[in-house]
Amino acid sequence: MLTNSKRFGLTTAVVSVSAMLLGSGAAYSMEMLKSFTASKPAAPTPVEATAFVARVEQELTELSEESSRINWAYATNITYDTQWLVSKNSERVTKMAVDFAIEAKKYDGVTVPADVRRKLNAIKQGITLPAPQDPKMGAELAAVTTRLSSAYSTGKIDYAGKSVAQDETEVLMQTLRNPAQLAEVWTKWHAVAKPMKADYARMVEIGNAGAKELGYADVGALWRSGYDMPPDDFTTEVDRLWGQVKPLYDQLHCHVRAKLNEKYGNDVVPLDQPIRADLLGNMWAQEWGALDDLVAPKNADPGIDLNKILKAKNYDPIKIVKTGEAFFTSLGFDPLPQTFWERSQIVKPRDREVVCHASAWDLDDKDDIRIKMCTQVDAENFQTVHHELGHNFYQRAYKAQPALFRSGANDGFHEAIGDMIALSITPEYLKQIGLIDQVPDASKDVGLLMQRAMNGVAFLPFGLLVDKWRWQVFSGQLTPATYNEGWWKLRKDYQGVRPPVARSADDFDPAAKYHIAAGTPYMRYFLARILQYQFYKAACDSMGWKGPLHRCSFYGSKDVGAKFNAMLAMGSSQPWPDALEKFTGSRQMDGSAIVAYFEPLMVYLREQNKSRSCGW
């Protein structure tokens, strides 16, 4: 996870702009109003636009470090006072973002250099849910979004005589194997979302009004405008990417449905229908890794037990992070600064409450980069460290860029960089760093690829459809009366899943997913899954790798590191195709790399499915 408070990526921007401009108790006579309308203000000029951008970057730079340190203080020491500081700071940053976005719109028709135009667009597009200038609507949007987020975060269900919080419901979905119990947990959690519908509809209405004031057709168009192409072209682009990976997903779906049918029978899992969403080991059927034991190939190689190896080799949390750092220095990157080791939270403190969710931080736009983790000595944390450090090295690579360009080339890049590094944790890499003595035979890797596909491949359609649904909502294609119908049509069409019990127009199942209740864009996760494999394959191709793609590690390749850094150093200063081309040689995102990665699994799945009726 990337944490970078220097960007305008705000869930809600709500501030009384007109009240701020008019002041308290202001009154105007008709003569004053006539004088205002008598003289038309001069048109904005390129000089004024350039000066405005310079002012934004200066103020953003001044505020960003203070904001980052306030948020770090809270995340590493949760108290009443640090929560208060974060809340006050959030109000201030939100107000700044709204003021800047409104002013940036004044320069839409002004001819300016390309870099200035790019910065103006970044200022406008950085607000996720823009409030209109009407202060009453702004205040209402703040209240609505707070209620929605709180309703999700505090939601609980009654199960087996106990009150079960949201995070515990996820554990139940992963561990229960009784269809009736799974349906009960699923249905009760989705009932928590039902009362959110009216607030959500109002949020859409107000957010769309704010987006129109910024010059966008609706909030969905605002979100899609951040990809260096017209919004409708971006819709076409993600459909193209989905078309590339869909055959792999379809084969995995067919195999998983057959295995679930073997366990639960035809009544629960008919072979000619979508799969019941509650049976896939995840509340939203977005990742299926909890079903590994059901779908693993017979006599599958259990693989390398990295959990056991790390402990046997006397690894501790610091050594795990040092190992991750060594991956990047092997590519030619400079070591992490000493302050990283002095200021990061690598292990969970015993004397205070902290946020343990792993994240990477850049606090001063220079060299004060850190990670925040509660690191355990296991395979999952070993991978997570490599991922989070990917964010840190990306942050440091673009530190010389202007303030508005210190971010990923598009919102999928940052997550993809970390995930690409994690893909390079292969048996070959483990041997290179002395964790294993011999590399296992790659011919037995189908079990390992199945494990990875149950999360990486299974996620793809869900990662796409969450925002597909919201685009339809923001555009008015779906109305409150058809919210749920539209949601389940997309779930069926893309994922091939269905609800375990009958649903109605009164239900509001989309809000059972945090990112919808909280108004957080989701397309970045779909793009990151595509890009991570494209980056990985490009690195392996550039070093002349000839073996199975999933066995490649580019550890130690200075050539890969130099090309990698050239892309990272660009930040968001150029359209993302320019950054992509710098490393991969292609200007187009490409799903063929993930297909190539899983080719041995695809061969296995086709063999398993040859006598089955696939599809739904």
Q: Known catalytic residues?
A: 388, 515
Residue 369 pairs with which residues in a beta bridge? 362
> Rounded CA gap, 199 and 195, in Å?
8
> Rounded CA gap, 413 and 386, in Å?
16
Whether the CA torsion 467, 473, 475, 478 is positive or negative: it is positive
> Rounded CA gap, 580 and 535, in Å?
9
Quick check: helix, strand or coil at residue 226? helix
Q: What angle do CA 576, 580, 586 make, to 5 degrees?
A: 120
Instruction: Enumerate residues 6+ apart whose C-beta is below 8 A from 579.
Output: 409, 413, 567, 570
Radius of gyration (C-alpha) of the chain in whole angstroms? 25
Q: H or E segment at 275? A: strand 275-276
Neighbouring C-alpha atoms within 13 Å toward the C-beta of 396: 17
Both tokens assigned to 568: 């990272």
Both tokens assigned to 269: 């899992």
First to last CA, the chain: 35
- Is residue 57 classed exposed, middle or buried when 0-12, 13-18 and 19+ CB atoms within 10 A define those classes? middle
Residue type at position 417: I
Quick check: helix, strand or coil at residue 10? strand
Q: Are strands 162-165 and 156-159 parallel, antiparallel or unpaired?
A: antiparallel
The DSSP 8-state label assigned to residue 491 in this structure reads I
> Rounded CA gap, 298 and 338, in Å?
49
Integer CA distances (angstroms), 352 to 75, 360, 426, 575, in order: 11, 20, 37, 43
The DSSP 8-state label assigned to residue 77 in this structure reads S
User: From the centroid of its chain, how far is CA 598?
Assistant: 23
Q: H or E segment at 81? A: helix 80-105
Both tokens assigned to 230: 């017209």
Phi, psi (degrees; rounded to nearest 5) at 467: -80, -25
Integer CA distances (angstroms), 120 to 106, 125, 222, 405, 518, in order: 10, 9, 14, 11, 26
Q: Are strands 497-498 and 359-362 parallel, antiparallel or unpaired?
A: unpaired
> Rounded CA gap, 471 and 596, in Å?
31
- Is residue 243 classed exposed, middle or buried when 0-12, 13-18 and 19+ CB atoms within 10 A define those classes? exposed
> Rounded CA gap, 91 and 14, in Å?
9
Q: Decide: 98 and 127 in contact? Cβ < 8 Å.
A: yes
Residue 13 pairs with which residues in a beta bridge? 130
Q: How many helices (H) and strands (E) does the chain have?
A: 27, 7
